Chains A and B, each alone.
Chain A
Amino acid sequence: MFVALAPMYIIAAAIVVLMLLAAFVRNHKLLAIVSALGFIAAFGTVFSHCSCLSKFAWELFVVDDYSWALTAVTLLSALAINIFSYFYFENFDEQKEEYYVLLHTAVLGTLVMIAAKHFVTFFIGLELLSIPTYVMVAYVRSKKESVEASIKYLATAAASSAALLFGLALIYAAAGTMDIYTVGRFFYIAQSVPAYTYVGIALFIVAVGFKLALAPFHMWSPAVYQGSAAPVTAFVASVAKLGVIAFVLRLFNESNLLNIGALNISLVVLAVLSMFIGNLFAVGQKNIKRMLAYSSVAHMGYLMVALLAGGMVAKSATGFYITSYFVATLALFGAISVISKNDEPKSIDSLKGLYYRNPIVAVVITIGLLALIGMPLTGGFMAKVFVVKAGAGIQQWFLVWMLIINSIISIYYYTKYINVLFSHTSEEVVKEKVPYLLATILIIIVVLVIWMGVAPQLWLNLFYN
């Protein structure tokens, strides 16, 4: 009976355990290990693949293969972030133990959203994800830019949550229920829906656009990416978006919302705007994290194309794209957090000649960037191909062309960073050492990137119901 929601139970238990542990023993290493064990234990339950929901949960949650696959992705990403955070925060003079409580709660929020079939579940999951994230962004309080980023994030996220709530209320007023499937049936049967329903849906999309950093709701993203600590950026870039994407995908698939012409058009506009704004603003960026922020705006634009396709195609293409994007992002931010021992790379010049100082990290960054470009042999390429195929399948040739043009634009700013890694500097070459665990994790992630690029069928099957 408990098996279906087991990951959530385990993570919730882990939250309590971690808090108590932190209260009695102030030991960073111990808590990091217990936190990692919590993620591993939760991951272990994924293999049960059970859809048996208890009577307390069947109205709020839905558990199917799709949600199990995304749960697994979330937990593994969280595990990687856990390890990166441990090594990163060792260098800072803060109380580090609360971080793991926050991380677990945010992950719990994501898991809730992945399995949500009720708008209330989605909302609570969203808040469970957002509130710890505000604190995580500001975690290293000595860094002014972290705190500033957190304030910006908090203000805009609160506004978007308010908009979301209002939108959900309007949808509820029209449909009479907050269950996704019933809402879907309502849209399917209803001859005409009241006008305020569209306002409700629009507000919902606004909130989703904010969370995913789609243009024009992306303004918080560069500040947060640049200001927060590298592992936290990794979290915001990956897991924080996953829950919302999963829920939106389920919503679009189950609820016939995509049949609404206005919604379709607005999503197309969002997608194209995100692609262009993301890519064009990324071109001039000197800070790698800021560049990655804008590039993730563009990537979410590409993802929108897959979401719009609808049906099984959307599920598999989106799932694959998310996974390959996460793996690449984790590789990149993990590598950045490794080289941030003294200070984060402020500008592109601090990466100069990294290959000669720290070959493993440089290769990881290279492969991560190549995956984001969409070079074959990396998962990013297969992901782009599937998305293009999804877009072409619904005859959205305009979107497909925008995707291709933007991919070409993106080559420029990614290769700038790859080039700089291999450029020779005149300084002394001092080889840096990377802790074995970190190096292993990074190499595993990179192998995953390449594996997804060479043999994607295995991964696609995970997302095919």
Chain B
Amino acid sequence: MSILFLISAVVAVFSTAMVITRHNAVHALIYMVISFIAASVMFYTLGAPYAAVLEIIVYAGAIMVFFVFVVMMLNMSVSPEDEKRATGIKSWIFPIILTLVLIADFVYAFIQGTPQTNMVKVIDAKRVGVSMFTTYLLMAELAGILLLVAIVGAYHLGRAPKRNIHRYLQNEQTQK
């Protein structure tokens, strides 16, 4: 097994473990991004650069941005006293280390090359697109419906429950 693959795999597993053990939501998200980057490096070392780039763009780019948006909207930020601690050096030094490891891994693979990366068969975006629009067209449509229903479901579950105020109190409320 290529040592490069192993390194990025270990980083991926480790950072995922960190995701589920953090108390701070934003910290967890950071580690999640790192795990996606690690997966991307793994793809690259196995000889699938297209998949590696897609991983970054789609996962780290789109999905993680979604996550961060939600965290922002739900206002899961910390109070000012804890903010000092949350952004202190202890919080960000470890993710930085992991990322540096990954960068080193990727650069080494890029320069030296693994057996797989040297024999890579280039699959361009056009082929993926053609496949998605002919063979797997219906699957893409169904995936769209899946997203739709996920939104509907999340909407229903996340809605604030109706609060029944007695009608006397209702009048008071409107008067105030």
Contacts and interface: CB of A to CB of B under 8 A. Distances in A.
A binds B: yes
Interface of A: 5, 12, 15, 19, 55-57, 59-61, 93, 95, 98, 101-102, 105, 108, 112, 120-121, 124-125, 127-128, 131-132, 134-135, 138-139, 141-142
Task: Decide if the interface of chain A is mainly helix, strand, loop or mixed.
Answer: helix
A105 B162 CA distance: 26
Contacts of A139: 156
27 contacts: A12-B141, A15-B145, A15-B148, A19-B148, A55-B134, A56-B134, A56-B138, A60-B135, A60-B138, A95-B156, A95-B159, A101-B149, A102-B153, A105-B145, A105-B146, A112-B142, A120-B139, A121-B139, A124-B142, A127-B146, A128-B142, A131-B149, A132-B149, A132-B153, A135-B157, A141-B157, A141-B161
Contacts of B159: 95
A362 B56 CA distance: 59
A127 B161 CA distance: 28
B152 interface: yes
B152 A124 contact: no
A138 B143 CA distance: 23
Interface in B106-143: 134-139, 141-143
B156 A135 contact: yes
A144 to B, nearest CB: 13
Contacts of B150: 131
B168 interface: no
B145 A128 contact: yes
Contacts of A55: 134
Contact of B135 (A59, A125, A128, A142): A59
Contact of B146 (A5, A95, A120, A124): A124
A130 to B, nearest CB: 10
Contact of B152 (A19, A125, A127): A19
Among all A-B residue pairs, the 3 with the closest Cβ atoms: A135-B153, A105-B149, A98-B156
A380 to B, nearest CB: 34
Contact of A102 (B138, B142, B149): B149
Interface in B14-43: none
Task: Decide if the interface of chain B is mainly helix, strand, loop or mixed.
Answer: helix
A101 B142 contact: no
Contact of B136 (A12, A60, A102): A60
Nearest to B134: A56
Contacts of B155: 98
Interface residues of B, number: 22
Given A131-B150, A135-B156, A139-B156, A93 B145 contact: no
Contacts of A125: 142
A389 B135 CA distance: 41
A120 to B, nearest CB: 6
Nearest to B141: A12
A455 B150 CA distance: 43
Nearest to A120: B139
A93 B145 CA distance: 27
A15 B137 CA distance: 19
Contact of A60 (B139, B145, B152): B139
A22 to B, nearest CB: 9
A132 B143 CA distance: 13
B23 to A, nearest CB: 20
Given A12-B145, A124-B143, 20 more contacts: A12-B141, A56-B137, A56-B138, A61-B138, A95-B159, A98-B153, A102-B149, A105-B146, A105-B148, A105-B149, A108-B142, A120-B136, A125-B142, A131-B150, A131-B153, A135-B152, A135-B153, A135-B156, A139-B156, A142-B161
Contacts of B136: 60, 120
Contacts of B142: 108, 112, 124-125, 128
B95 to A, nearest CB: 25
Contacts of A141: 157, 161
Contacts of A19: 148, 152
B159 to A, nearest CB: 7
A132 B157 CA distance: 11
A127 B152 CA distance: 15
A128 B157 contact: no
Nearest to A59: B135
A128 B146 contact: yes
Contacts of B153: 98, 102, 131-132, 134-135
Contacts of B161: 141-142
A134 B149 CA distance: 11
Contacts of B135: 59-60
A57 to B, nearest CB: 6
A134 B154 CA distance: 10
A57 B141 CA distance: 12
B134 A102 contact: no
